[in-house]
Chain A
């Protein structure tokens, strides 16, 4: 009888240990979010969003150039990664039996694990060094490489869920192969692909390491893709590691905006996935 009691006690101890550790995880999360909101909300105002940075000592500096820069970098990265990633996703589902598919899939795995700093180095060696200057284009290219694996896997996984009868019925109507894929299969898989794209954007929106050697950062408003460009994560990095108090509060504000951007992207990706789930 006492044996049973000991076993029950052990069971309960283990249970509460698991619960404690699991709930403890929420502590750092709440601390981080609380800290960012607390520090960031005080520096949020219209001037902060619409003004350009000012030298240390002057008040009223903003991060307009970084916000625009982040969107520009995301735009360049998407322009490269979305068509390329979707094409590769189609390749992986359509040519599953080809030997080369194995290498493509291996490449996706490799890219997924590659540290972002290494991708930054590569973009520097391939683009910045050849063009002779830091540029928004090289930053966007580095980010597009980071974004690719997510788009490829989400496209592939969604396409695999579609029934073969979908393609067959298109063939039966005399639709050629390319049109069956582009006009029948892809639209049916659109929600999964768009979800993947949004998750990809959410991932690269906060990436800093690949931008250090590529987009580089700039205190000016810049729309030229051939010139260095500022971005939210980069601004956070430079301001956070500076010794000035005003710059720290600017960095908190930028962190808040960045976190909100990423949260909105993640949540809407999830809602999209739930709402437009095509069932067959």
Chain B
């Protein structure tokens, strides 16, 4: 018997009650420390999520507040006026809106047959094997090439080709302009629509396709009446996301579009897009109204791409749920 009169045996060792008490105290301290750390950990996770959402809201609010001077001065005429003349403090953004819409939609129209073919090739004809690996990697590499390199290549490879094309058509031979930009943009946005198209096409249930085959349908008929109708919404979403990319594309466009602040007269004429005018003039802009007009373009770009992007994502999520 020890002094305290009691003894505990844990394992094969004897412990006095005093020792057990102090051990319990140490353990309690450790648990308290753990609780504190847990609390800190959860709080910091929560804090970073709040900070993140605040950054997004902050982006929108900053753009909105900074464009108030130009909204006040021009109102809606800002979107309908077609003169952009910083010297005279005249700011109408119509040329850029038109330039952006034409280049993006032209690029989109050219992209559709290509991205649809690639999606079918990878999702339906060749799901595995060397051709599919090759093409999938090619799409991925295309998606990884920086915008500025596309622009550089466009400037030295596409522009001369376009120039000789324009000469043979009897047009002024500039080489740069809306059409060249659309060609470049179409190459750049293929990866976005193609990768989503491939995914949704390969998600079409096999039993539907097999049922059609068993009725004697050819592959083309299966694709036309089963695969494409089934994957329609997903393919559309992919095209929507590609459109969002095309609208906001900056560097490549800035390098080959010609940067002319007037309404384009034909699809070969030089123009400016919303993104390219910001890239060209933002650092040189002087005066509140000038800067604010450019920020208003940024605001419009942000709002439009956000809407397009979220709509595309929603459609894809919906498509995934129907599986």
Contacts and interface: CB of A to CB of B under 8 A. Distances in A.
A8 interface: yes
Contacts of A166: none
B208 interface: no
Contacts, number: 241
23 contacts: A7-B221, A8-B218, A15-B219, A15-B220, A19-B125, A22-B121, A22-B122, A23-B135, A29-B142, A95-B45, A114-B305, A115-B305, A117-B275, A118-B298, A119-B59, A176-B37, A176-B38, A205-B146, A207-B147, A212-B283, A241-B155, A255-B149, A262-B144
B231 interface: no
Contacts of B165: none
A117 B278 contact: yes
B248 A117 contact: yes
B220 A14 contact: yes
Nearest to B149: A255
A23 B121 CA distance: 9
* Minimum-distance CB pairs A-B, first 8: A206-B146, A115-B248, A113-B309, A21-B117, A178-B41, A176-B34, A22-B121, A11-B218
A18 B135 CA distance: 13
Interface of B: 34-35, 37-38, 40-42, 44-46, 48-53, 55-56, 58-59, 62-63, 66, 113-114, 116-118, 120-122, 125, 134-135, 138-142, 144-153, 155-157, 187, 190, 218-221, 223, 241, 244, 247-251, 255, 275, 278-279, 282-283, 295, 298, 301-302, 305-306, 308-310, 313
A258 B310 contact: no
Nearest to A108: B52
B62 A122 contact: yes
A68 interface: no
Contacts of A145: 55
B63 A118 contact: yes
B250 A209 contact: yes
A259 interface: yes
B45 A90 contact: yes
Interface in A140-160: 145, 148
B155 A240 contact: yes
A115 B250 contact: yes
Which DSSP category, helix, strand, loop or mixed, fits chain A's interface? helix
A32 to B, nearest CB: 5
Contact of B255 (A100, A114, A241): A241
Interface in A228-268: 233, 236-237, 240-241, 248, 251-252, 255, 258-259, 262-263, 266
A115 B155 CA distance: 22
Contacts of A28: 142, 187
Contacts of B62: 122, 125-126
A79 interface: no
Nearest to A31: B157
Contacts of B53: 100, 103-104, 107
Nearest to B217: A7
B56 A107 contact: yes
Interface in A191-228: 202, 205-209, 212-213, 216
Contacts of B49: 87-88, 91, 95, 100-101, 104
B153 A10 contact: no
B248 A122 contact: no
A111 interface: yes
A18 B250 contact: no
A133 interface: no
A235 to B, nearest CB: 9
Contact of B251 (A88, A113, A237): A237
A121 B313 contact: no
A115 B218 contact: no
A236 B152 contact: yes
A173 interface: no
A11 B223 CA distance: 10
A213 B45 CA distance: 32
Given A15-B219, A25-B142, A208-B251, 11 more contacts: A15-B125, A19-B117, A19-B125, A25-B114, A29-B142, A31-B153, A35-B157, A87-B44, A91-B45, A94-B45, A126-B62
A172 interface: no
Contacts of B139: 25
B47 to A, nearest CB: 9
Contacts of B148: 206, 208, 233, 236-237, 240
B146 A114 contact: no
